[in-house]
Amino acid sequence: MPNVEGLTSMKKKGFFICIEGLDGCGKTTQARLLVKKLRQMGFDAVYTAEPSCGKIGRFIKKYCLHGEKRVSVVVEALLFAADRFEHIENEILPALDKGKIVVSDRYIYSSLAYQGAAGLDLKWIKMINKHAIEPNIAIFIDVEPEIVLQRLRRKKSVMENLETQRKVRKVYMDFVHKGELVKIDGNKPKMKVAKAIFEAVSKAL
Ligand code: TMP
C-alpha cells in the first residue's frame, strides 16, 4: 500500500466527479442518473457517496446524523475528514486507477459548506482534508433553501433550519463565484437538470 504522500500524489487515470448541494436538492437522484447516462455512453462509471459505507461512514450515520444529540462540530469535521480519507483510499482511488469515472454524492465541499456554516474556519477544514484528492469537476445543484425545506417537510423549527440552509448555500455559492464549483439550476424538471449536469461533465471529460 502506498504511503499518504504517494497516495495523494498518485496519478489518476480515471475521472472524478463530485455532486454537491443542500439536503433535498435532488443530488442522489442526479448522481445516479449521471452514472446511468455515462454507462449508456459506454463509460465505466461508478456511484459512490459520503458519508461512505465504510466503518467511519457508518459510525457518522449512526451517531452524528441520527443520534439523539448533535456532536460537537469539531468532532463532526474530523470524522467526516477521516471517513473521506478512507473513502478515497478504499473506493475512489482504486476505481480511478482502473480508469473508471467516479461520481461521488458529496465530497469535501460538503464539509466546507456544512461545518463551515456551523462556524468552523474554512482554512482549518481544508487543512484536515489536505490529503483529499481534487475532483476533476465539482457540481453544485442549486435549489433555494425555502424550496428544499418544503421538499423535506422537516418537523424541526423551520426558521432554525432555514437559517442553517441559507448559511450552507452561501458557502457553496462562494465556491461557485471562485470558479471551484459549477452551478446547475436544480429548480427545473428532473430530466432537464440531468441534461445540464451531463453537458457540464461532457465539457470537462
Ligand atoms: P446525505 O443527506 O447526502 O446523505 O448527507 C448526509 C448529511 O451529512 C447532510 O446533511 C450533509 C452532512 N455532511 C456534512 O455535514 N459534512 C460532510 O462532510 C458530509 C460529507 C456530509
Q: Looking at 59-63, 82-86, 103-107, 180-184, which range is the least confident one?
A: 59-63
100 lines ligand 1 (CB under 6 A): no
Q: Which CATH number does 7-204 carry?
A: 3.40.50.300
> For the whole model, what pTM was predicted?
0.93
Residue with the smallest CA separation from ligand 1 atom 16 is 111
| DSSP codes of every residue in 23-58 | TTSSHHHHHHHHHHHHHHTT--EEEEESS-SSHHHH
Residue with the smallest CA separation from ligand 1 atom 21 is 110
| pLDDT at res. 2 | 47
| pLDDT at res. 1 | 44
How many angstroms does the Cα of residue 42 sit away from the middle of ligand 1? Answer: 30
Q: Can you tell me the distance from the alpha carbon of 84 to that of 135, in angstroms, rounded to the nearest whole number?
A: 13
- Does the CA dihedral 139-200-46-100 come out positive or negative? negative
Q: Where does the pLDDT of residue 9 fall: very low under 50, low under 70, confident under 90, or very high at 90 and above?
A: very low
Whether 158 contacts 40, CB under 8 Å: no
Res. 114: pLDDT tops 70: yes
CA distances from 128 to 104, 145, 194 (A): 19, 28, 32
Grid cell digits, residue 94: 482504486
Residue range 154-195, pLDDT digits in tens: 555 555 588 999 999 999 999 999 999 999 999 999 999 999
Pocket test residue of 50, 58, 79, 148 for ligand 1, highest count of atoms within 8 A of CB? 50
Q: Looking at 27-41, 65-79, 88-102, which range is the least confident one?
A: 65-79
| pLDDT at res. 158 | 53
Residue range 45-55, pLDDT digits in tens: 999 999 999 99
Mean pLDDT value across the chain: 91
Grid cell digits, residue 67: 443520534
- Does the CA dihedral 65-68-74-79 come out positive or negative? negative
Grid cell digits, residue 152: 423535506
Q: Can you tell me the distance from the alpha carbon of 43 to that of 33, in angstroms, rounded to the nearest whole number?
A: 13
Q: What are residue 96's phi and psi, to 5 degrees?
A: -65, -35
110 lines ligand 1 (CB under 6 A): yes
Q: Where does the pLDDT of residue 71 fall: very low under 50, low under 70, confident under 90, or very high at 90 and above?
A: confident
DSSP state for residue 205 in the 8-state scheme: -
- Residue ranges of domains in the chain: 7-204
| pLDDT at res. 113 | 97
How many angstroms does the Cα of residue 203 sit away from the middle of ligand 1? Answer: 27
